[in-house]
């Protein structure tokens, strides 16, 4: 199996005995020379990892269970630490929290083994972020851009579309030479199957890996899953100089699992019964993202961790912890979701600390004041709800704000290319959408892009190549927008 330890004839073993077993935590005696992170093997075929020490006992977390472990069982340890197989053969495969295949497609041939708890790249090994990771989610690419190597948190209440934002970002990487890793932690099998069905339907598995430790998996596998996903991504970033995007869905469940482990280990509970090192646990993980210097191959690894809030409380312990260690957050609002504004990202509470630096120059020019206009529109809308009548000027601003809101709306599993977003924003900024009603916006966008692709496909290719609004591109866009009008031709 992928997680087994190969023992050579000359390798030293140290034997011990199980003194006590509490769910997935075993108290061991006899391993006097062991260390944290070291593997141990039980006589019944189970595998564990040493996670601590207490009053003469070594504490072992069971990560792979063979026969039932009971007091008195023998075990042995070697000098090998906790590693997993990594390599290109993992592309297109579904593995568990130990990097073992679970898709029934046979064993995976690994290129090498990598430590699960790998050290993050040092400051001198990194370079500032300059390239955009195009998510295909309009409200993100326009107002909260994500750079390659960034850590952008997605947080919000249950069933508000957090996973959809992340999976749309994965769908949008098709053909962009980016490896995507979806890490499922503690979620129901049904939720995982929905994502897998979508990936298979859209041929995502050709450039993706799925690491799945669902709620039915052992506590040990759920705990290790995000680190295994990061190790798989690091192979492509470090060895191949590739760009990688990793989605952790979600770190709230990971924190729950670690709290459960810690209470079984009899560690002192702190705030919300979480152990004191929960911050270190997640910061150690997210620090592994980044963009490497050209001397290191110029690879990058982008993290999109997901965190669940309770009744919109972003001040909870785990949300605030992870907000403080990421480069921005996308807050998904339950009231917006209930109103039908999807993706329900609250612009006022969302931010990208990388900012517009990684955006296309064309997008930067057009989307610069969009955030301010939209927030002002939402405030104006609240004020005018209690008034029976408004002036013509206010009515005009409200209508334009509703058009902007309609532009930002998007169906799930339907990522929009950046060039399409730029063209739509150019039409808005230059008054071509002033006469439209909000309900006409979706048809206008579809019809306009179809018209440009039919009449002047080279214009779109030139925009993708230049990424900026040069004079000839502006002239071409003006010509096409004027010819299209409001969709009559």
Q: Which residues carry out catalysis?
A: 353
Rounded to whole angstroms, how far apart are CA atoms 131 and 472?
24
Rounded to whole angstroms, how far apart are CA atoms 98 and 31?
24
Rounded to whole angstroms, how far apart are CA atoms 183 and 248?
5
CB atoms within 10 A of CB 173: 22
Supply the angle between the helices 471-484 and 457-466 in degrees, to the nearest 10: 140
Q: Return the structure tokens found at 240.
A: 């191949």
> Are the beta carbons of 205 and 92 closer than 8 angstroms?
yes
**Of 254, 195, 191, 262, whose CA–CA distance to 226 is shortest?**
254
Helix boundaries (H) for 172-292: 189-201, 219-234, 240, 251-264, 278-286
Please give the sequence-ordered ranges of beta strands (E in DSSP) within 33-101, or none if there are none: 38-42, 47-54, 57-64, 74-81, 83-86, 94-95
DSSP string, 452-488: HHHH-HHHHHHHHHH-S--HHHHHHHHHHHHHHTTTT
DSSP element (H, E) containing 164: helix 162-171
> Are the beta carbons of 186 and 192 closer than 8 angstroms?
no
Place of tokens 């195009």: 134
Q: Which residues pair with 94 in a beta bridge?
A: 210
**Of 20, 333, 21, 282, whose CA–CA distance to 151 is shortest?**
282
> For 122, which DSSP code?
P
Report the sign of the C-alpha dihedral through residues 189, 190, 195, 200, in that order.
positive
DSSP element (H, E) containing 422: helix 418-429
339: buried, middle or exposed (CB in 10 Å: 19+, 13-18, 0-12)?
A: exposed
- Residues sharing a CB contact under 8 Å with residue 159, sequence separation 6 or more, in sequence order: none
Q: Which residues of 22-48 are buried (b: 16+ CB within 10 A; e: fewer)?
A: eebbbbbebbeebeeebbbbbeeebbb
């Amino acid at each position: 199996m992928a997680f087994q330890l190969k023992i050579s004839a000359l390798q030293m073993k140290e034997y011990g005995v199980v003194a006590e077993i509490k769910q997935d935590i075993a108290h061991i005696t006899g391993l006097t020379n062991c260390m944290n992170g070291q593997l141990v093997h039980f006589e019944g075929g189970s595998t564990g990892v040493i996670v601590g020490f207490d009053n003469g006992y070594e504490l072992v977390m069971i990560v792979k269970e063979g026969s039932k472990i009971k007091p008195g069982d023998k075990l042995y340890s070697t000098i090998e630490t906790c590693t997993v197989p990594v390599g290109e053969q993992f592309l297109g495969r579904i593995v568990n929290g130990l990097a073992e295949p679970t898709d029934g497609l046979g064993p995976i041939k690994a290129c090498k083994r990598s430590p699960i708890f790998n050290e993050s790249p040092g400051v001198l090994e990194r370079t500032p972020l300059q390239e955009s990771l195009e998510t295909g989610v309009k409200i993100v690419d326009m107002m909260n851009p994500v750079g390659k190597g960034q850590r952008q948190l997605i947080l919000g209440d249950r069933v508000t579309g957090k996973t959809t934002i992340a999976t749309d970002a994965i769908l949008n990487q098709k053909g962009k030479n980016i490896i995507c890793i979806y890490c499922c932690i503690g979620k129901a099998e049904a939720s995982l199957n929905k994502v897998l069905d979508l990936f298979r339907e859209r041929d995502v598995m050709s450039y993706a890996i799925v690491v799945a430790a669902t709620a039915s998996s052992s506590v040990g596998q759920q705990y290790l899953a995000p680190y295994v996903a990061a190790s798989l991504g690091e192979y492509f970033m470090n060895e191949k100089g590739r760009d990688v995007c990793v989605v952790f869905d979600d770190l709230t469940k990971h924190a729950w699992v670690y709290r459960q482990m810690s209470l079984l280990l009899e560690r002192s509970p702190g705030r919300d019964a979480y152990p004191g090192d929960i911050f270190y646990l997640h910061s150690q993980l997210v620090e592994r993202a980044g963009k490497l210097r050209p001397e290191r191959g110029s690879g990058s690894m982008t993290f999109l961790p997901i965190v669940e809030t309770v009744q919109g409380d972003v001040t909870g312990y785990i949300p605030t912890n992870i907000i403080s260690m990421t480069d921005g957050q996308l807050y998904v609002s339950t009231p917006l979701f209930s109103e039908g504004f999807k993706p329900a990202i609250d612009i006022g509470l969302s931010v990208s600390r990388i900012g517009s630096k990684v955006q296309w120059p064309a997008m930067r020019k057009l989307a610069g004041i969009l955030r301010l206009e939209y927030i002002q529109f939402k405030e104006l809308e609240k004020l005018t709800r209690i008034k029976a009548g408004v002036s013509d000027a206010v009515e005009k601003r409200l209508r334009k704000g509703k058009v902007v809101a309609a532009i930002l709306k998007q169906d799930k599993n339907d990522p929009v290319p950046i060039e399409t977003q730029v063209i739509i924003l150019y039409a808005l900024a230059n008054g071509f959408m002033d006469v439209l009603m909000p309900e006409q916006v979706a048809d206008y966008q579809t019809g306009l892009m179809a018209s440009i692709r039919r009449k002047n496909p080279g214009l779109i290719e030139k925009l993708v190549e230049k990424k900026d609004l040069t004079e000839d591109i502006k002239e071409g866009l003006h010509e096409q927008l004027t010819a299209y009008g409001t969709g009559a031709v």
